[in-house]
Amino acid sequence: MEYKVIDRKGNIIPNDNSQKSLLDILYKTVGGSIALKGLTSPVVSKAAGAFCNSPLSQNLIPSFIKKAGIDLTEYEPAVYGSYNEFFTRKIKSDARPVDMTPDALVSPCDSKLTVYKIDEDSIFDIKGVSYHVDEFLRSRKLAEQYNEGFFCIFRLEVSDYHRYMYIDNGRKSKNFHIDGFYHTVNPIALEKADIYRENTREFTVLHTENFGKVIHAEVGAMLVGKIKNHHRDKGYRFKRGEEKGMFEFGGSTVVLIFKKDTVEFDDDIVLNTKNGFETVVKMGEKIGHKKGE
């Protein structure tokens, strides 16, 4: 399974095939499947995270900047003592302006976005494969509240900005953590692994001013050592644009789940998903609006 990527102006973005050969081996061969069991384990992921937190990882930074084409002028000046310090670098506030219009639905992060309709049985479909919201949340009762709503996948690649924000003003529930594996979030993994049932993830319910009760979830991915949310207490009051947390090294995913009749997504994003495209979006950028507005 492979998605094409398109920007908001309709320009198709060339796929980054630098990891494709390795992922094909891991997810499409017998030998790769054996190796995959080790690579997706929490122990290996934590070990990789420990290395990326050490000064020994500093040497990885220059080549990564060059390969990923990262524009450091967008980020706050800093000296990085490890690869993870660089990976979780902070962007300048004016580089990601947040649409503060109350009825504007904004992206929580820099990512490639696809949006799926949830049916009346708590199921959504990705290219003919069915996924169950109740398995993602490990709660049938909670999942049923989102029947006929939307399941929104914000896929972050390693070159993306790996901090994420709150999409509106409101207050949050406690954080729910689900232990699991660390499959890549590259679409190729969907052929062999149920990422939204198997991967380590964490979620909270956001009681928002404009979009009702929104589930905000983070999904760990291959070699992601940690999902780091800043606010864990039930009842914490947040503001639109406030930083919610960050991922350490690796690709990863943010998921937003909306109830029925709460939001409408911009036409290009809906059409792109239907046509098999992921849409490039930036943190704070408008991606839809409150339904009825």
Token readout for 213 is 């009760």
Task: Give, in degrees to the nearest 5, the angle at Cα 176 between 175 and 181.
Answer: 125
Question: Are residues 162 and 87 in contact, defined by beta-carbon separation less than 8 angstroms?
Answer: yes
From 57, 82, 110, 111, the catalytic residue: 110
Q: What 3-state DSSP class applies to 22?
A: helix
247 vs 224: CA distance, rounded Å: 7
Q: 195: which DSSP letter?
A: H
62 vs 125: CA distance, rounded Å: 40
From 82, 168, 252, 266, the catalytic residue: 252
* Interhelix angle 30-39/20-28, nearest 10 degrees: 100
219 vs 199: CA distance, rounded Å: 7
* Residue partners of 284: CB distance under 8 A and separation at least 6: 96, 97, 98, 99, 106, 107, 165, 241
Tell me if residue 267 is catalytic.
Answer: no
Tell me if residue 168 is catalytic.
Answer: no
Question: Are residues 106 and 287 in contact, defined by beta-carbon separation less than 8 angstroms?
Answer: yes
Phi, psi values for residue 173, rounded to 5°? -85, -175
257 vs 237: CA distance, rounded Å: 19
233 vs 55: CA distance, rounded Å: 33
Token readout for 118 is 């949830």
Token readout for 77 is 């000046």
Active site residues: 110, 252
